Structure 1
Amino acid sequence: MLMLTPGPVQTHPTVRAAMAEDIAPWDAAFRPFYTRLRERLRAIAGGVEGVHVTLPLQVAGHMIMEAAIRTFVPAGRAVLIPVNGQYAGRAVKLGRLAGWQVVELPVPDSRGVTPAEIEAALAAHPECSHVAMVYSETGSGIVNDPAVIGPVVRAAGRRLIVDAVSAFGALPIDLSKQPEIDTVIFTSNKCLEGLPGFAFAVSRIDSCEAAVGNAGSWSLDLADVWANTKGSGMGTLRFTGPVQALRALDVALDRFDAEGGQAPRLARYRANADALYRGLKGLGLTPYVSEAEQGPIVVTFRQPPGLVLADFVEGLKRHGVLISSYYTSNEPSFRIGAIGDVGLAEMAKTVAAVQAVLGELGLQQAA
């Protein structure tokens, strides 16, 4: 089965095979491996030794987003969240349920937020110490670029939290050039093409030092992860986690390096997304976002009249293609991931499968 969800993603057999090992994470032999893995991730983020540190948590992506808000937004201050997709909406919910003040900036889910919108919102809300932004919204496929938004945040004297869960490893980020970023968060899966199980924050050390006692949680306190690192070393975990996922990630990072790193991976994903976008549009389907706004991670199309999403998904499975069984855009849609251990041959197979299923469902004219 070809898996084209926005995550988990299709992985290479060598990555999956790396999970088949019993590991004792408290053994001294594990420490050098774990240290090296954390340093590899910091390098991909453009982090600087002595300035930035990789902070792992054995959680899902939305849980490390909560940890980031809890840790870095000081008590009594608020966080501004541009909301142009469900994952930004989740960040709003996570922040509010944790007891933090959240200011929403509504933006259509068909485009990225603009610097002017962020600038105006920060001017109107001096209580906001931070902006928390989703880099790649997989509901519609749009991108909010921290390299574009960051300078506005920096000029306003505020801080930035970047949710790069579905972006890290493909879309570029360079923490060495953006001192306003307190942390960038991501997972072991998605564009790194590892397996789920761990999430990571590459964070400023001075921001961690300033955040001691903020979180109101032990499990979700990134400042406490830093304190453990500082006290016990980079090779230690606070709590036992699914460490086999770390072995798989290490193999996935070997493949990432062999491909040439971030830029070639982005180029492959962009080619995948372009092939899907043009191929499905050629079948008469309507893209959810304009070509200019279409990101390289997931491609979203409006549901044609008469389409029942569950039937469409099951039909694609009969043709060997698995896509998301639900949509998270504001209007009915279906979405197909362009990421994972896949290329143009898999995109061609997918377009052919969509064409076949539309015919089987009697929806070619509707498309």
Structure 2
Amino acid sequence: MPASAPRATSDTGDDFLLTPGPLTTSRSVKEAMLHDWGSRDGAFVRINREVLEALPRIVNGEGDYVAVPMQGSGTFAVEAMLTTFVPPDGECLVLVNGAYGHRARRILDIARRRSVVYETPEDVPPDLAEIEALLARSPSITHVFAVHCETTSGVLNPVEEIGAVARRHGKAYLVDAMSAFGALPLDARAAHATAIAASSNKCIEGVPGLGFVVARAVDLAAAKGSATTLSLDLHDQWANFEKTGQYRFTPPIHVIVAFHQALREFWAEGGQPGRLARYEENRRTLVQGMRALGFETLLPDALQAPIIVTFHMPADPRFAFQEFYDRLKDRGFVIYPGKLTVADSFRIGCIGRLEASHMRLALDAVRDVMAELGVVSASPRRAA
């Protein structure tokens, strides 16, 4: 990096993480982790209870739904949800248009649960009529699984409409809302969701280490004995909380206390609508700026969630992604490689403790790096 090139940092001197999580967090969320807490101390038990009581509210689930935490990353929560709710004699229709649908299928395979896959390309949402037809001709299917925002591409899937189809056919409905929970609108009742999985380090802007499942209490009670493991048994975890208010096994205390602070900041921003408004502005700023530089987005605007945006790689032979990535990081911005099969791409996230002003700084860095690399065009098509 030239000596004169500016370097941007957060208010704690860290790089800005333009990723789908882990992501940039506020100073106050970081500071919440500076203290030690006893896992069975009354103060910590109260903090944890407040976290769990808040989560169903975010998806309009008060009263009917409960939140069950699960130590570990978001995938731990998804695995806990699938292996607790899909019983040994069940069969799950897995809707796949990216890596996280494939991961759900693998979880079910390892757990020896039957599944049926309906796959569309990574930039195409599932077709509701096809789901309807699949369920009509496959009465053995008991559950439907969908990803709300598939960050492989950033595509937004119609989760509430899928839930309506599942309900018409009497199927339980499981949602991976990992990268959407707290930002994109999701009404658990309107979606007829049996359970929704998410984690602490996405749109609520906490730190990694805690997954959770917001589940309809009556369905969770009926899932007793279905889990395939001890540590990922959602019913057993929930039953222990109902009885003692405690985790069965050591909780990630500092993560939970930071999550508690992140939820305070989430509500102070206006909850889901407020969080979405900031992320939408981040996305608009990013997409408009990148297109002005000649980059092309993978998705049309109608399918693009304000979580992470996929851009086609420039065809210019002077563009080398690793060099592009490294030089952006030297300037304080960490982006994400692509993981598509449909196109060579990279991704830039819009979530975390970021404002439109930070996105403009990132755009300045992209422009400068492209000039340093001698890239004439950001188009994915080679000049004739």
Please indicate the TM-score interval, normalised by the length of the shorter structure.
over 0.9
Partner deviation per Cα, 1:325-347 (whole Å, 9 max, x = no partner): x3222221100000011111011
Residues 111 and 143 in structure 1, CA contact (< 8 A), matched pair in contact too = no
Partner deviation per Cα, 1:62-114 (whole Å, 9 max, x = no partner): 12111111111121221111111111111111111121112111112113223
Q: Secondary structure at the match of 2:116?
A: strand
Q: Secondary structure at the match of 2:340?
A: coil
Q: Secondary structure at the match of 2:156?
A: coil
Q: Distance in 2 between matches of 1:23 and 1:145?
A: 41
Residues 6 and 298 in structure 1, CA contact (< 8 A), matched pair in contact too = yes
Q: Distance in 2 between matches of 1:115 and 1:239?
A: 41
| Equivalences for residues 132-171 of structure 1 within 5 A | 132-171=145-184
Of the three residues 44, 47, 57, the one matched with 2:61 is 47
Q: Secondary structure at the match of 2:38?
A: coil
Match of 1:350 in 2: 362
From the superposition, tell whether residues 110 and 37 of structure 1 become closer, same or farther in structure 2 (CA, over 3 Å): same
The two structures, once aligned, show a CA RMSD in angstroms of 1.3
Q: Does 1:121 align with 2:134?
A: yes
Q: TM-score of the superposition, structure 1-length normalised?
A: 0.95
Match of 1:6 in 2: 20
Q: Distance in 1 between matches of 2:257 and 2:241?
A: 20
| Equivalences for residues 83-102 of structure 1 within 5 A | 83-102=96-115
Q: Distance in 1 between matches of 2:370 and 2:173?
A: 43
Report the Cα offset of residue 273 of structure 1.
Answer: 1.0
Q: Secondary structure at the match of 1:184?
A: strand
Residues 48 and 176 in structure 1, CA contact (< 8 A), matched pair in contact too = no
Match of 1:335 in 2: 347
- How many residues align? The count is 362
Residues 9 and 190 in structure 1, CA contact (< 8 A), matched pair in contact too = yes
Residues 50 and 260 in structure 2, CA contact (< 8 A), matched pair in contact too = no
Q: Distance in 2 between matches of 1:29 and 1:365?
A: 57
Q: Distance in 1 between matches of 2:80 and 2:352?
A: 26
Q: TM-score of the superposition, structure 2-length normalised?
A: 0.91
Q: Distance in 1 between matches of 2:374 and 2:133?
A: 49
Report the Cα offset of residue 231 of structure 1.
Answer: 2.2
Sequence identity, in percent?
40
Report the Cα offset of residue 366 of structure 1.
Answer: 4.7
Q: Does 1:322 align with 2:334?
A: yes
Residues 52 and 203 in structure 1, CA contact (< 8 A), matched pair in contact too = yes
Q: Does 1:238 align with 2:248?
A: yes
Residues 160 and 190 in structure 2, CA contact (< 8 A), matched pair in contact too = no
Report the Cα offset of residue 308 of structure 1.
Answer: 2.6
Q: Does 1:267 align with 2:277?
A: yes
| 2:140 partner letter | E
Match of 2:11 in 1: none
Q: Does 1:72 align with 2:85?
A: yes
| Equivalences for residues 169-248 of structure 1 within 5 A | 169-178=182-191, 180-232=192-244, 235-248=245-258
Q: Does 1:37 align with 2:51?
A: yes
Q: Which runs of 4+ in 1 moved over 4 A?
A: none
Q: Distance in 1 between matches of 2:17 and 2:87?
A: 41
List alignment gaps of at least 5 residues for structure 1. Answer: none
Q: Does 1:300 align with 2:313?
A: no
Q: Distance in 2 between matches of 1:329 and 1:272?
A: 23
List alignment gaps of at least 5 residues for structure 2. Answer: 1-14, 380-384
Q: Secondary structure at the match of 1:55?
A: strand
From the superposition, tell whether residues 263 and 114 of structure 1 become closer, same or farther in structure 2 (CA, over 3 Å): farther
Q: Distance in 2 between matches of 1:254 and 1:354?
A: 34
Match of 2:6 in 1: none
